[in-house]
């Protein structure tokens, strides 16, 4: 009998376990297409016992996996997501409408809020803008914000602005599995520590700018333009608004016992608070120094204007003596002293010259000229 005919007379292939028991080979199944993260996703990873699992899964798959695994959580990082992406992420992680709306906007004040089982931590980012020289339009400080949503099995970071990239934060904290094993609050600690570190770094650059401005103000050849000083003061005020309001939220995290950082991370947050206090003290000192520099420059301008007025008054007095003599002898009266004298005209010129030279020497000696 032809084997091909036998094959054609065989019945349909039995599915599943029954087919394997009867000796039929299993059919090849088409794998489901893998979902890809949207462009706003900077990184997504699952961490188990403080160590990152291989791959970069879709955030929904990662969250589902973290919920099935003990001592695990997912960290999803977003950069300037649009409304559609945030709405999908909010549905996946169970965020309410207010949290999604807050994550869409930027320019928030540093704060700590509680939305049900989710804690929201808002921090301001800061970066120093390199520049060759300070002008009246120089941008010295670039600010943004980062929002950290903390749940039981997830941490979601949403960043706005170019400053404060979190890729170095992720790389650094992944080298410390003992800290990362504490869960989502370990990521919150790492983000806070990175932001405060940036504050201290920016303050160091600002100190060098202040030194250059101070040197230019008291330079002998030419003082600094007051517009440049005012522009730097505006940048310092913007930096101050980003740093100082973080003190109260960070203090609340340190003192919070229920729903806050685990006890193992409390001392790490205390360390971050200490570094933040250093940054605040520096910025306060810079603000006071800028006020002093600004007042000094204003005083210099007042002195310069006073010197100019004294010079103008001196030359006006010298010119007034010449005008007085010329005015008296220019009245053309018939009977005037020495009017008919042969040397009257040269004597009048000599008198005018002597009066001018005498006044010039007196004003020069007194510092008016």
Per-residue pLDDT of the chain (369 residues; tens, 9 = 90+): 344 333 333 444 444 433 444 454 444 444 445 677 777 889 999 999 999 999 888 999 999 999 998 889 999 999 999 999 999 999 999 888 888 888 888 888 899 988 888 999 999 999 888 877 777 777 888 888 999 999 989 999 999 988 888 999 999 999 999 999 999 999 999 999 999 999 999 998 888 888 888 777 777 666 667 777 788 888 888 888 889 999 998 998 888 777 788 888 889 999 999 999 999 998 888 888 888 888 777 777 777 778 778 888 888 888 888 888 777 777 776 666 666 677 777 877 888 888 888 888 887 888 777
Report the Cα 167 to chain-centroid distance in Å.
17
Task: Looking at the structure, tell me whether residues 92 and 213 fall in a common domain.
Answer: yes
Last residue within a domain, chosen from 296, 321, 350: 296
Last residue of a domain, one of 247, 268, 296: 296
Residue that is last in its domain, among 296, 330, 357: 296
- The widest CA-to-CA distance across the chain, in whole angstroms, is 162
The string of DSSP letters for 60-93 reads: HHHHHHHHHSTTEEEEEEEES--HHHHHHHHHHH
Name 142's bridge partners. 127
Same domain, 251 and 268: yes
Distance (Å, rounded) from C-alpha 5 to C-alpha 294?
101
- Helices then strands (H, E): number in the chain? 12, 7
Domain that holds residue 357: 303-366
Same domain, 247 and 323: no
> In this structure, are 166 and 68 located in the same domain?
yes
| 320 inside domain | yes
Tell me: do 279 and 210 sit in the same domain. yes
* Position 203 in a domain: yes
Burial class (CB within 10 angstroms; exposed 0-12, middle 13-18, buried 19+) of 36: exposed
- What pLDDT does residue 359 have? 83
Report the candidate in 157, 152, 130 with the shortest Cα–Cα distance to residue 141: 130
Q: Which residue has the tokens 């961490």?
A: 47
For residues 149 and 290, state if they share a domain.
yes
Cβ-contact 190, 213 below 8 angstroms: no
**319 and 212, same structural domain?**
no
* Strands (DSSP E) found in the chain: 41-48, 51-52, 72-79, 111-115, 118-128, 141-150, 154-160
Place of tokens 């505006």: 234
The tally of domains found in the chain comes to: 2
Task: Indicate if 74 and 206 belong to the same structural domain.
Answer: yes
Can you give the CATH number for the domain in which 327 is found?
Answer: 1.20.58.340
Residues 84 and 147 in one domain: yes
**Cα–Cα separations (whole angstroms), residue 233 to 48, 133, 308, 329:** 47, 15, 29, 60
In a domain, 1, yes or no: no
Determine, yes or no, domain membership for 2: no
* Per-residue model confidence (pLDDT) at position 14: 40
Measured CA to CA, the distance from residue 330 to residue 154 in angstroms comes to: 99
27 domain residue, yes or no: no
Domain membership flag for residue 354: yes
Same domain, 267 and 323: no
Phi, psi of 26 (to 5 degrees): -75, 140
Question: Which residue's entry shows tokens 């919070």?
Answer: 256
Is 14 contained in some domain?
A: no
On whether both 77 and 176 belong to a single domain, the answer is yes
SS3 at position 19: helix
> In this structure, are 115 and 242 located in the same domain?
yes
CATH of residue 61's domain is 3.30.460.20
Q: 167 lies in a domain?
A: yes
Contact 213, 288 (CB under 8 A): no
């Amino acid at each position: 009998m032809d084997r091909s005919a036998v094959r054609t007379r065989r019945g349909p292939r039995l599915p599943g376990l029954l087919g394997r028991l009867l000796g039929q080979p299993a059919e090849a199944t088409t794998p489901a297409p893998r979902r890809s993260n949207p462009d706003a996703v900077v990184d997504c990873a699952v961490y188990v016992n403080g160590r990152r699992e291989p791959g970069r899964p879709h955030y929904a798959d990662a969250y589902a996996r973290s919920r099935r695994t003990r001592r695990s959580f997912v960290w999803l990082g977003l950069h300037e997501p649009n409304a559609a992406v945030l709405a999908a992420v909010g549905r996946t992680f169970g965020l309410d409408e207010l949290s999604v709306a807050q994550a869409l906007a930027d320019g928030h004040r540093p704060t700590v809020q509680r939305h049900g089982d989710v804690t929201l931590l808002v921090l301001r980012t800061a970066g120093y803008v390199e520049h060759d020289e300070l002008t009246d339009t120089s941008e010295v400080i670039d600010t943004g914000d980062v929002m950290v949503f903390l749940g039981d099995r997830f941490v979601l970071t949403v960043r706005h602005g170019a400053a404060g990239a979190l890729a170095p934060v992720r790389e650094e904290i992944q080298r410390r599995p003992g800290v990362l094993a504490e869960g989502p609050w370990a990521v919150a600690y790492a983000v806070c520590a990175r932001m405060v570190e940036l504050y201290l770094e920016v303050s160091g650059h600002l100190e060098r700018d202040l030194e250059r401005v101070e040197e230019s103000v008291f330079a002998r050849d030419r003082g600094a333009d007051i517009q440049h000083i005012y522009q730097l003061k505006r940048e310092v005020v913007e930096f101050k608004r980003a740093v100082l309001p973080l003190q109260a939220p960070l203090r609340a995290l340190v003192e919070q016992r229920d729903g806050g950082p685990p006890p193992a991370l409390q001392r790490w947050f205390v360390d971050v608070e200490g570094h933040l206090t250093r940054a605040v003290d520096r910025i306060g000192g810079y603000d006071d120094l800028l006020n002093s520099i600004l007042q000094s420059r204003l005083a210099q301008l007042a002195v310069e204007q006073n010197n100019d007025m004294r010079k103008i008054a001196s030359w006006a007095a010298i010119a007034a003596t010449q005008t007085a003599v010329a005015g008296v002898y220019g009245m053309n009266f018939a009977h005037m002293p020495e009017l008919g004298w042969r040397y009257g005209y040269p004597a009048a010129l000599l008198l005018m010259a002597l009066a001018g030279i005498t006044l010039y020497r007196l004003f020069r000696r007194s510092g008016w000229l």
